[in-house]
Structure 1
Amino acid sequence: MTRILVAEARDGKGQQRRRPQIKMRDGDEDGDGRQASASYSSSSASLLICVSLFSSLLVKMKLGSLLFRILTHNIRYATTSPSAGEQPWSVRAPHIVNELDYHSRLNPESFVCLQEALHNQVTDVLAGLNSRPHAQADEWAFYGVGRDDGKQAGEYSPIFYRPAVWTLQEKETVWLSETPSVPSKGWDAASIRIVTIGVFNHRASNTTVLAMNTHLDDQGSKSRFESAKLILSLIQKYLARHPEVKGNFLAGDFNSAESQEAYREFTKPGSSIVDTYKKVPAAQHYGDEITFTGFDGKTKGSRIDYVMVGPQSSSASIPFAVNGYAVMPNRFDNRIYNSDHRAVVADVTL
């Protein structure tokens, strides 16, 4: 039987007050209540152990849920002959950097995937992100190469990330062609096309992610279809090589609407990836539907820019929880288009 022992003491004014002591059983106390105190101490220790174990469990649960943002944007290459309504890169660049900084500032785990970026645009974006007042020195880095020579010539499809958050464990650029290991144009493509690949390990949680960024051809239908097949095979190759990968994503400009070849190949039954757009109820989407707008305000746009996540199979759902999907504006009150595409943003938990 549990009993409450009451001991008398005096407060600072000399008044008596009662202090309860816990005693677990009759006959366990001695004259000075030492055993009652020991019982209380034992109970307190047990409680502390339980709290400690629970806190440890909470930490593990937190580490097991990795929230990060994936942003993809075709920023339009820095042409020397701007089309109607298009501003030169020197005018557009600050708006692009502002966008990327704003949408990644509060999530250090963010990945930023760009398309059509020439070497000077990549370095401008990198310098812009790293020069922000809140940014630490060399906070951002990127992996990517120019598609024309595997170095600095031609358009990049770079992946930007924070090295203090992610370790880049493996990287590769694959050409979307019949000769994927060398700079080359594939099938009926009008231009050389690539997919940029990175295996990233999250330092804090030891979670590994496979990231891919691509820009499919705007002219060749066969090229888009074969490129999609090649990319899907690369996903499987990397998942087999890196069994520690918990999830993967593919971002980019596919130049393919939902009804067209590349999108249909990427999302066919049994595919290893799924469109984040489809994983968020339409009523919860933010922004516009269309991702390609042109510069003149008259172009009939379409949704051709995507973030897809996986892996998934017929027997298992994707490991990602897609928490949000948005298409961001590419023009504001200043009437300057930052690009002829809008950025797509997906928030996911792995």
Structure 2
Amino acid sequence: MKSTPKLPVRILTHNIRYATGSPFKGEVPWTKRRQLLLNELEYHTRYMNETFICLQEVLHNQLEDIRAGLNPSHGILSPKWAYIGVGRDDGHKAGEYSPIFYQPSIWNLQHWETVWLSKTPNVPSKSWDAASIRIVTIGVFTHRESGNTVLALNTHLDDQGSKSRLEAARIILSKISEYQQGEFGGLISGTFLSGDLNSQEEQEAYSELTTTGKLLDTYKSVPAMRRYGHHNTFTGFGYGKAPPKRIDFILLAPEGNQSWRVDGYSVVPNRFDDEVYNSDHCAVIADLMLVG
């Protein structure tokens, strides 16, 4: 591993709820949630250029809204914010994205890909007991100033198939190992996985990803008295039968010469005085430091 200067990194992950035409009770349309979500993203990244914004359940029209909202005074050819990711249904624009937004002036994108969490990971597909097609978005980013290289993964696992969540977790771990031992292995200073795992701590995907020191939960790396905000990350829209739970995570992979230090962890409220939920999930934010 390459030893490089310390680097602060913020990771924000949020399942923003897809723009449905049939809202749940308590849910307002995307057109009314859109600006609230953009305000959240802008506020939490305003003075932290090294932020990765990792989103789930993003339809193409939402992706375009977010890209435009993050780049109000920048042209398409030189945006402040760019993204990697594709629609899961066809590998282009159809279906939900799990995009990673980043600032090209801060990070040099070395490589990226989308992997389908199925028996045929190179083509749009689903396997086992998955109810929906599922993907993981993977990017290799080099910090232009410090030279640190980060391997970033963002995913959204199936909400119904236990077997598919377990197998998806195994595919993700295999991809991390592949990158750490492959072409970029000598460059990677830190690796993170963000996303909605649809798995609580005692369930299959979380257990597979975190047992025997495979990945570290940022939540558990910060003492309880120093965490900010809520515990649960899924809230629903106030009328659903599913209870609140912690299913959205930022996980870190141990590295060689460098490692992550977790300086802060928070679960941000998704509803304020206006009583409007900007999503049925809360955003999770981790403030990290890559240290030698």
Q: Distance in 2 between matches of 1:246 and 1:138?
A: 26
Q: Distance in 2 between matches of 1:317 and 1:191?
A: 39
TM superposition shift of 1:317: 9.3
Between structures 1 and 2, the one with greater helix share: 1
1:109 alignment partner, one of 50, 53, 58 = 50
For each residue in 1:305-329, what CA deviation from the matched residue of structure 2 results, as whole angstroms up to 9, or x when unmatched?
00011225xxx79700000000000
1:343 matched to 2:286? The reply is no
| 1:152 corresponds to | 93
TM superposition shift of 1:270: 3.8
| 1:262 corresponds to | 205
Contact 1:210 1:249 (C-alpha < 8 Å) held by counterparts: yes
- 1:1-350 to 2 correspondence within 5 Å? 64-131=5-72, 138-241=79-182, 242=184, 243-271=186-214, 273-296=215-238, 299-311=242-254, 319-350=259-290
Contact 1:280 1:325 (C-alpha < 8 Å) held by counterparts: yes
Q: Distance in 2 between matches of 1:172 and 1:107?
A: 25
Contact 1:208 1:246 (C-alpha < 8 Å) held by counterparts: yes
Runs of 5+ in structure 2 lacking a partner? none
Report the TM-score, using the length of structure 2 for normalisation. 0.94
**Structure 1 counterpart SS, 2:211:** coil
| 1:46 corresponds to | none
Contact 1:309 1:318 (C-alpha < 8 Å) held by counterparts: no
Report the TM-score, using the length of structure 1 for normalisation. 0.78
**Structure 2 counterpart SS, 1:101:** helix
In structure 2, relative to structure 1, the CA distance for the partners of 1:81 and 1:331 (3 Å cut) is: same
The one-letter code of the counterpart of 1:131 is P
Q: Distance in 1 between matches of 2:205 and 2:233?
A: 16
Q: Report the RMSD for the aligned CA atoms in angstroms.
A: 1.7
Q: Give runs of ≥4 in structure 1 deviating > 4 Å.
A: none
Runs of 5+ in structure 1 lacking a partner? 1-60
**Structure 1 counterpart SS, 2:212:** coil
Q: Distance in 1 between matches of 2:198 and 2:243?
A: 14
> In terms of Rg, which structure is larger?
1
Contact 1:212 1:249 (C-alpha < 8 Å) held by counterparts: yes
In structure 2, relative to structure 1, the CA distance for the partners of 1:236 and 1:123 (3 Å cut) is: same
TM superposition shift of 1:68: 1.2
